[in-house]
């Protein structure tokens, strides 16, 4: 089938839609609201006789949600490939994420168990839907344009996430501009807005994106899951045939630990270390989103010009410098001024590192196994969301300081770069066409 421009647009619009969750829920508002208000901040909560800092409780909640998601991803991905129902699975998990994101509206101070359960289910829906969204990339692109198409998705994602975040700022601080009275909106209304935004703007995805593979197995549940388990077993065996892909996934698992931890902890760091207020945090991330839009496009073109691997390596060097500066924040000027500068640098590499990683995975992935192989890619991301925040949370618990664990993030970038250096991009593409038996 020939890929039409409207199908590429429909695919990229899912990034526009669900990035509202990544921005407002994971990175800016809900995470610091949950850590500082719902779970008590420094006062924390008592869990099984232990007193946990609110930030630690939130990082542990993220780790649990990603552990559950990582467990099911390979099976669901194998079933989706076997059935030819990637689009249907995308819709199921999309609607799951939308539903439980909306239910975060009912989370108030002290409702940390309710908030944790709703957030875990919403985050699973978000993460699993991305497995199937990413799995369409090899089908709608080729070796010449995969970097640009992947970059387009990330770029639209930053526009979408930034646009709703700007609306959230108006809702909380300047409702009169929207025609409402002062104090008309609460932070819970912002969580509800994410659910509505995600639902409305994912409609083009389901209208325009096509499922290319015909159903291969019966929908009778017994045969359905039996085939899924069989293909999952075969996937573990086949991944070994793609040596460059395997090395890349290991590198991605490690360096993405650092990226995901920065995303999750940045606003909490801004509030507790730098002393930023909610409106400052929102403006800070709006700036990051805007710069990330251009960063995604720049790195996408750079990947098609000099190669995806080299582009990822450049981004990881910049990430390492950012982390080192964060550890020594206030070295040159005051902490808040330097944090804004770090935001500029973070925006530049944030979308670029993720977009080029996804396109590199796409280059190594055989089309007929895209969902299950992208499920392994997703697992690498999910394990990053398990151990990165978990280690950070443990360090906060031990030291009582949000800033104390920032150097642990640097280790992830250094180890990831070391493994990525051994990946041969050209050989990885050859293995996709002629896997080693």
CA distance 357 to 349: 12
Q: CB under 8 Å to 151, separation ≥6 — which residues?
A: 296, 297, 299, 300, 301, 303, 351, 352, 355, 356, 359
Q: Which two tokens stand for residue 113?
A: 């168990």
In terms of pLDDT, which residue wins out, 50 or 345?
345
Over residues 118-144, the pLDDT tens digits come to 999 999 999 889 888 887 887 888 767
C-alpha count within 13 angstroms, C-beta hemisphere, residue 264: 33
Tell me, what's the pLDDT at 218? 45
Q: Please choose, from the candidates 422, 408, 94, the residue with its C-alpha nearest in 3D space to the C-alpha of residue 245.
A: 422
Task: Give the Cα separation of 362 and 371 in Å (integer).
Answer: 11
Q: What token pair was written down for 365?
A: 């992935």
The more confident residue out of 102 and 263 is: 102
- Mean pLDDT in residue range 405-434: 87
CA 264 → CA 23, 181, 260, distances in Å? 10, 32, 6
Asked if residues 127 and 382 have their Cβ atoms less than 8 Å apart, the reply is yes
Place of tokens 């006062």: 43
Burial of 241: CB neighbours in 10 Å, binned 0-12, 13-18, 19+: middle
The dihedral formed by the CA atoms of 113, 118, 121 and 125, expressed in degrees to the nearest 10: -150
Burial class (CB in 10 A: 0-12, 13-18, 19+), 414: middle
Taking only the tens place, the pLDDT of each residue in 44-69 is: 888 877 888 888 899 889 889 988 88
Q: Comparing C-alpha atoms, which of 177, 180, 277, 232 is closest to residue 375?
A: 232
Beta strands in 15-143 (DSSP E): 45-47, 50-52
Kindly tell me if the per-residue pLDDT of 27 is higher than 80. yes
Compute the distance between CA of residue 134 and CA of residue 45 in angstroms, rounded to an integer. Answer: 37
Query: Tokens in use for 293?
Result: 């839009």
CA angle 83, 87, 91 (to 5 degrees): 120
Spatial distance between the Cα atoms of 223 and 176, rounded to a whole number of angstroms: 57
What pLDDT is stored for residue 340 in this prediction?
96
Domains of the chain: 5-433 (1.20.1250.20)
- pLDDT for the residue numbered 252: 87
Mean pLDDT in residue range 77-92: 78
Q: Of the ranges 10-24, 57-71, 392-406, which is most confident?
A: 10-24
pLDDT, mean of residues 290-304: 83
Please tell me the least confidently modeled range out of 49-53, 105-109, 143-147. 143-147
| Cα–Cα distance for residue pair 49/47, rounded to 1 Å | 5
């Amino acid at each position: 089938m020939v890929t039409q421009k409207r199908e590429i647009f429909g695919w990229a619009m899912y990034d526009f839609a669900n990035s509202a969750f990544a921005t407002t829920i994971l990175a800016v508002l809900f995470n610091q609201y949950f850590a500082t208000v719902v779970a008590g901040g420094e006062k924390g909560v008592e869990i099984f006789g232990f007193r946990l800092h609110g930030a630690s409780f939130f990082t542990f909640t993220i780790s649990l949600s990603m552990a559950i998601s990582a467990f099911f991803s390979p099976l669901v991905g194998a079933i989706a490939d076997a059935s030819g129902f990637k689009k249907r699975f995308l819709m199921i998990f999309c609607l799951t994420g939308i539903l439980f994101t909306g239910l975060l509206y009912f989370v108030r101070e002290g409702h940390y168990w309710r908030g944790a359960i709703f957030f875990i289910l919403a985050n699973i829906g978000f993460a699993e839907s991305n497995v199937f969204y990413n799995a369409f990339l090899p089908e709608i692109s080729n070796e010449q344009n995969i970097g640009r198409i992947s970059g387009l998705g990330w770029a639209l994602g930053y526009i979408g996430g930034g646009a709703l975040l700007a609306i959230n700022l108006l809702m909380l601080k300047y409702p009169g501009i929207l025609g409402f009275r002062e104090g008309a909106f609460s932070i819970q209304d912002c969580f509800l807005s994410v659910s509505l935004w995600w639902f409305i703007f994912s409609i083009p995805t389901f209208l325009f994106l096509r499922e290319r593979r015909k159903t291969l197995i019966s929908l009778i549940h017994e045969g359905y899951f039996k085939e899924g388990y069989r293909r999952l077993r075969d996937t573990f065996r086949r991944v070994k045939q793609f040596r460059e892909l395997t090395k890349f996934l290991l590198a991605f698992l490690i360096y993405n630990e650092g990226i995901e931890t920065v995303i999750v902890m940045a606003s909490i760091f801004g509030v507790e270390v730098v002393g930023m207020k909610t409106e400052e945090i929102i403006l800070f991330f709006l700036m990051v989103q805007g710069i990330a839009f251009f960063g995604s496009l720049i790195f996408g073109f750079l990947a098609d010009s000099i190669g995806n691997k080299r582009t990822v390596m450049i981004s990881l060097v910049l990430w390492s410098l950012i982390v080192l500066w964060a550890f020594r924040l206030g070295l040159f000027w005051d902490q808040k001024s330097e944090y804004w500068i770090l935001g500029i640098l973070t925006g530049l590499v944030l979308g670029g590192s993720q977009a080029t990683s996804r396109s590199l995975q796409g280059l190594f992935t055989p089309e007929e196994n895209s969902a299950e192989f992208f499920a392994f890619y997703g697992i690498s991301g999910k394990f990053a969301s398990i151990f990165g925040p978990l280690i950070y949370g443990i360090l906060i618990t031990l030291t009582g300081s949000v800033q104390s664990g920032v150097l642990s993030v640097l280790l992830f970038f250094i180890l990831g770069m070391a493994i990525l250096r051994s990946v041969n991009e050209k050989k990885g593409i050859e293995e996709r066409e002629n896997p080693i038996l």
